[in-house]
Amino acid sequence: MGNYLVFHRTMAGSSPTVPPTGAGTGPGPPSRPGWRGRDRESRAITDLLRAAAEGGRGGVLLVEGQSGMGKSRLLAEAIDVAAGHGFMLAQGTADESSRLRPLEPLMSALGESAHTLWAAWAEARPDAADVRLWLLERLQARLEERVARGPMLIVLDDLHWADPTALLALRSLVPELASYPLVWILSRTTDDDPGNAERLFDFLEGDGATRIKLRLLDRVATAKVVADVLGAEPGPELLALAEEAGGAPYVLIELFEGLLDEGAIEIADGRARLTSRQVPRRVQAVTRTRLGRLSPATRHLLEVAAVLGRSFPVDDLADLLGEPASALLPRLEEAQRAGVVTPDGDLLTFRHHLMWRAVTETLSQPVRLALHRQAGEMLLARGGSAIPAAGHLMRSVRPGDTSALAALDQAVREVLPSSPQTAADLAGRAVELTVPTDPERFDRSMTAVYALTAGGRLAEASELANAVLEQASPDKVARLHYELAYIRLLSGRPADAVAEAERALAEEGISDELRDQAEHVLFRALFVAFDHPRGRERAEAVVAHPERHGHAVLAGAHALLTHITWAEGHAAEAIAHGWTSMRIAASGPIRAQHAHPALHLVALLINLRRLDEAEAVLRATEEEITSLGHTVHAASPALFRARLRLAADRLDDAAAEARAGLALADELGMHAYTLLGITVLAVVAVRRGDLDTAARQAELHDSKYQGGRGIMYGSVWSTWAMATVTEARGDLGKALEIAHLCYTDRTKRRWLLMVEPDAAAWLTRTALTAGHRSAAEDITATAECLAAGNPEFPSLAAAAAHAHGILHRDAAALARAATTHQGAWGRASAAEDLGVLLVRQDTDRTAAIGALEQAMDGYQQTGASRDAARVRARLRDLGVRHRHWTGVERPDTGWDSLTDTERKVTALVAQGLTNPQIAGQMFISAHTVKFHLRQVFRKLGIASRVELARLAAEQHPANPGPAPPHLPG
């Protein structure tokens, strides 16, 4: 099989040339003949471009292989074809220096500058420490604006050299824009360490992308490529020579183009034969042979140019050589005529990666290092950004070189807001090159720790902080313990965070600012670890004298008191502390704001089923996280919104938010709230009857919660939920074992019953089923006590009535719960318990059937198919074959299968709105919009916004909305 693009026309005998734009049925063959070899790659690109041009569908092609396998040529052919059919085009290529330039090559492909965007943002928000979220939102908005006008092809080459922020952006942008006529072709080389690019390819392949691994050419493909290069059929001696290329397309093409240039091949009557016997026996040396034909002066120029990278500005080369650019023209022209370098916009670029590498390998290590050092000093002398110089200095600086290290420090500061992982690599290298006696060593180490933490590389941050701790002077120890406490907290290890924070506070001479920060982390860790008593006295002392403390510690103290009063059953007081904590943090410095106590206030409001209020606070918090540049918390809003949607009985939306939040949390290494997402997915799976998925979530829960991490946020609620999973799978004994502390620990029992209104009924019912009446009585008594102490919150009263009705077989209490539960699922559950009780009492069969039918309707409306099936069986036992159903029966597919929400999303898509715009109008998140859009596509059998707009216009011809964009072909 071969590597080169060939587009076969759908009609036999059609011309192998590109038809005019708009002709035919879609993208056809390339604009120039040849490059035959591998039909599979050709068909993959053909299909993607045709789907975009004709159906408005997007797509992703992942191309990978070793150097010389033809990736760049394949991409170039795809660009030619797309350009010939009116596609908007964007092309970017990464190189070694891209790793230090955030969002390259994506920014260059789109004609943007990450540094310029960041500078504009920094001017508006100078305290923002991490602008990745903002940059991603800006990129997505600009891309959506472009692609809404018609089909677009984005080609990104050599992504193995892309920086981490660029890869993170692609992981987000590609799925988010899948419904537009946007085709992505992404390429990487597999020669070296695959790194994060391989993770990106694995993720996109799992999301439906087509992945092509380019291999060496076989004999048939080799013959086709030789024929294309020569424009004639090769004779036997040429085919034998071609075999020496070993199936490497680049080497093969270089060889035969070189033979043509030398006049060593004669073509007559459509056949080619070899006329010279002076052919190099080792075909692999063809690149060096091409270079050997150049003059010594030109070879010297190229060796210096290669140090600047595969692509380089002529001005930089002139400065490095100490000559005016005009003096370089003869040598540069010779290099271009020889096909070693080619123009690429404002730059010159080596024709191929192998060509560039062959040139660099002619330089000895000492010479290469000296040239890198010279290049770095040259770029520094110009002033401005230190990032271009940093790449050279990282390779050449010697330990103790203070001026070069100062330049690396500047580059770290520049790149940190937009690419913390890149900053971490730079800072780590600077630490390695700093001698132990250098007074800057500690600050450089702390910068590296901060960058690693911001980039989600928490294990590395912890390792470095511990290494520095072993050698730190006494005045530095407190700072290190504080950083370790913060790392442990973000890692989901609150007990360890408490220990590190207390070590920091125990150090003598700790500054007031650092004390406030350490106490703040301590308070946060104590409530997550459920170790409230240890911090109560300290928190109350802080609140009693607010004038003595900073914003961060005050916000932390109120946050801890929020959870202490909640655990004691005082809901109103807890919410008051939550609001106070949020207000103090919002008015304080960046450290206080980064705590985001509003997230915990959202949780309390959800628990009490004040869902509209929770939604408003969560939306404001999400905006705050983006505006502050707090990327490490980027996943948190989705995880809390998943809990909110579950409380509202919107199972699909809850699952969509949970999956989005968990994926982003995993990408960022931030696991503090991951139990929320895992638990939501488990509960949704149980209600739907997908017990295998529920079991997998339970296993994941146990690995996170019991894997030496200690108690994590949401662990009491999640423990109860895992017990319900186990009970649903038929193991009542193990379910009781999992829920043991909910029955026996008074504090956790009270906490859970305030957190989850549906827990009281389940715990009571399960205990009675197992014959543990005293445990059921404890649950009911606690629920009734909480309801009595918090009369302003009806969710607690409904939960108490439900548990009481089950325990005491009180039909009136169950009927009350069936109408007063704040959630539809809770009302259905109470109605089911009422129906079961009335059946057992055998006093009012009609009322029993009515209650079960109410339960059936409620479960059905919330999508709880497992519960609905159970009630259906109960009704069948009563002889009711046709349940009373007030809802609308929908088909599985077609326009009539769409739900009301899906119809609203469809209408807004037909108007040309983007996902974020739709989210804003419908007061939902972009994650949820994307989920509903996928459901609509599945039900209608389509895959693009263009197709959806057409269908919507057919359904509502009087108000068709805007016409879809004109597409070529």
Q: Could you tell me if 192 and 94 lie in one domain?
A: yes
275: pLDDT confidence band, cut at 50, 70 and 90?
confident
Give me the pLDDT at residue 967, please.
33
Better-predicted residue by pLDDT, 241 or 563:
563
116: pLDDT confidence band, cut at 50, 70 and 90?
low
Confidence check: pLDDT of 200 > 80? yes
Query: Do the Cβ atoms of 659 and 647 come closer than 8 Å?
Result: no
Q: Could you tell me if 132 and 258 lie in one domain?
A: no
Mean pLDDT of 462-473: 89
CA distance 620 to 416: 26
Residues facing 65 on adjacent strands: 189
Give me the pLDDT at residue 958, please.
53
Distance set, CA 567 to CA 197, 298, 573, 716, 748 (Å): 46, 77, 11, 11, 8
- Kindly report which listed range (270-284, 668-682, 708-722, 911-925) carries the lowest average pLDDT score: 270-284
Considering only CA atoms, which of 164, 121, 173 is closest in space to residue 143?
173
Query: Do the Cβ atoms of 837 and 811 come closer than 8 Å?
Result: yes
Share of the chain above pLDDT 70, in %: 88
Domain of 310 in residue numbering reads as: 294-363
Q: Could you tell me if 255 and 140 lie in one domain?
A: no
Choose from 90-94, 226-230, 529-533, 774-778 the range with maximum mean pLDDT: 774-778
> Tokens in use for 917?
């715009």
896: pLDDT confidence band, cut at 50, 70 and 90?
confident
Q: Is residue 780 part of a domain?
A: no
Give me the pLDDT at residue 803, please.
98
Mean pLDDT of 116-127: 59
DSSP state of 153: E
Q: Is residue 761 part of a domain?
A: no
Share of the chain above pLDDT 90, in %: 37
CA distance 464 to 102: 24
893: pLDDT confidence band, cut at 50, 70 and 90?
confident
Q: Is residue 500 part of a domain?
A: no
Give me the pLDDT at residue 781, please.
97
CATH number at residue 178: 3.40.50.300
Choose from 469-478, 796-805, 909-918, 948-957 the range with maximum mean pLDDT: 796-805
Give me the pLDDT at residue 99, please.
77
CATH number at residue 344: 1.10.10.10
Give me the pLDDT at residue 651, please.
93
- Coil, helix or strand for 672? coil
Q: Could you tell me if 274 and 307 lie in one domain?
A: no
Q: Could you tell me if 85 and 131 lie in one domain?
A: yes
Better-predicted residue by pLDDT, 858 or 672:
858
Mean pLDDT of 489-517: 88
Give me the pLDDT at residue 2, please.
33
Q: Is residue 674 part of a domain?
A: no
- Coil, helix or strand for 184? strand
Give me the pLDDT at residue 117, please.
63
**What does pLDDT average to over the chain?**
83
CA distance 856 to 887: 11
Query: Do the Cβ atoms of 946 and 965 come closer than 8 Å?
Result: yes
623: pLDDT confidence band, cut at 50, 70 and 90?
confident
Give me the pLDDT at residue 93, please.
86
Q: Could you tell me if 115 and 171 lie in one domain?
A: yes
- Kindly report which listed range (362-376, 474-488, 879-893) carries the lowest average pLDDT score: 879-893
Tell me: cis bond preceding 105? Omega within 30 of 0 counts: yes
**Which stretch of DSSP H or E encloses residue 349?**
strand 347-350
Give me the pLDDT at residue 4, please.
30
- Kindly report which listed range (80-89, 213-222, 311-320) carries the lowest average pLDDT score: 213-222
Q: Is residue 263 part of a domain?
A: yes
Confidence check: pLDDT of 813 > 60? yes
Mean pLDDT of 78-88: 87
Q: What is the DSSP string of 402-433?
A: HHHHHHHHHHHHHHTTT-HHHHHHHHHHHHHT
- Kindly report which listed range (165-179, 317-331, 408-422) carries the lowest average pLDDT score: 408-422
Q: Is residue 739 part of a domain?
A: no
Query: Do the Cβ atoms of 835 and 822 come closer than 8 Å?
Result: no
β-strand pairing of 182-189 with 210-213: unpaired
Q: Is residue 82 part of a domain?
A: yes
Better-predicted residue by pLDDT, 498 or 883:
498
Confidence check: pLDDT of 960 > 60? no
Q: Could you tell me if 78 and 175 lie in one domain?
A: yes
Per-residue burial over 591-624, b = 16 or more CB atoms within 10 Å of its CB, e = otherwise: bbbbbbbbbbbbbbbbbbbbbeebbebbbebbeb
Give me the pLDDT at residue 622, please.
87
Considering only CA atoms, which of 386, 397, 395 is closest in space to residue 423?
386
In this predicted model, what pLDDT tens digit does every residue of 304-327 receive, in sequence order?
999 998 889 999 999 999 999 999
Considering only CA atoms, which of 624, 709, 620 is closest in space to residue 673?
709
Q: Could you tell me if 204 and 155 lie in one domain?
A: yes
Count of beta carbons in the 10 Å neighbourhood of residue 207: 12
Mean pLDDT of 399-415: 85
Give the chain's count of helices (H) and strands (E): 49, 11
Q: Could you tell me if 269 and 318 lie in one domain?
A: no
Better-predicted residue by pLDDT, 31 or 689:
689
Domain boundary pick from 169, 197, 213 = 213
In this predicted model, what pLDDT tens digit does every residue of 546-561 receive, in sequence order?
988 888 889 889 989 9
DSSP state of 98: G
Mean pLDDT of 901-905: 89
Domain boundary pick from 307, 341, 363 = 363
Domain boundary pick from 230, 251, 282 = 282
> Tokens in use for 942?
């389509």
Q: Could you tell me if 138 and 179 lie in one domain?
A: yes
Q: Could you tell me if 184 and 134 lie in one domain?
A: yes
Give me the pLDDT at residue 303, please.
92
Q: Is residue 695 part of a domain?
A: no
Give me the pLDDT at residue 397, please.
80
Q: How many domains does the chain fold into?
A: 4
Q: Could you tell me if 242 and 312 lie in one domain?
A: no
